[in-house]
């Protein structure tokens, strides 16, 4: 799923992140100047909202820049702590599919829940 997302929307470049950091710094300085000039609440509300929006955008860009396609690996082995489950997991869309593997090992197996 990450691979498809990265193809449709590639991670931001370092230049994008640096430009956004500069924008956050600029907006922060503007808010600081307004505060030091003891500007009224009406004058400071919009710049503070713009600063918060710029910080949120920077946070999203930094988070997206950490995404890497493929299975996380360390020393040639799957690095499960980086995975969504943080351990080895076997998932199926149906309990019946998973029970087929157990049926070979044990004689009586049962499933419950909705089946389609």
Predicted structure pTM score: 0.52
Least confident of 29-38, 85-94, 102-111: 85-94
Give the separation between CA 96 and CA 67, rounded to whole angstroms. 34
User: What pLDDT score was predicted for residue 115?
Assistant: 60
Q: How many C-alpha atoms does 87 have within 13 Å on its Cβ side?
A: 0
User: What pLDDT score was predicted for residue 116?
Assistant: 55
The angle that helices 14-36 and 41-65 make with each other, rounded to 10 degrees, is 160
Q: How far is CA 67 from CA 23, 30, 44, 78, 90, in A?
A: 23, 32, 36, 16, 23
The residues, ordered by sequence, that sit 6+ positions from 77 with a Cβ below 8 Å of its Cβ are none
């Amino acid at each position: 799923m990450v691979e498809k997302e990265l193809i449709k929307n590639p991670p931001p470049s370092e230049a994008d992140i640096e430009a956004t950091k500069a924008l956050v710094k600029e907006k922060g300085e503007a808010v600081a100047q307004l505060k030091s000039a003891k500007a009224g609440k009406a004058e400071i509300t919009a710049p503070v909202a713009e600063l918060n929006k710029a910080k949120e955008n920077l946070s999203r860009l930094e988070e997206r820049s950490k995404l890497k396609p493929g299975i996380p690996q360390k020393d040639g082995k799957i690095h499960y702590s980086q995975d969504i489950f943080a351990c080895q997991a076997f998932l199926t869309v149906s309990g019946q599919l998973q029970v087929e593997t157990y049926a070979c090992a044990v004689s009586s197996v049962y499933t419950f829940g909705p089946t389609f």
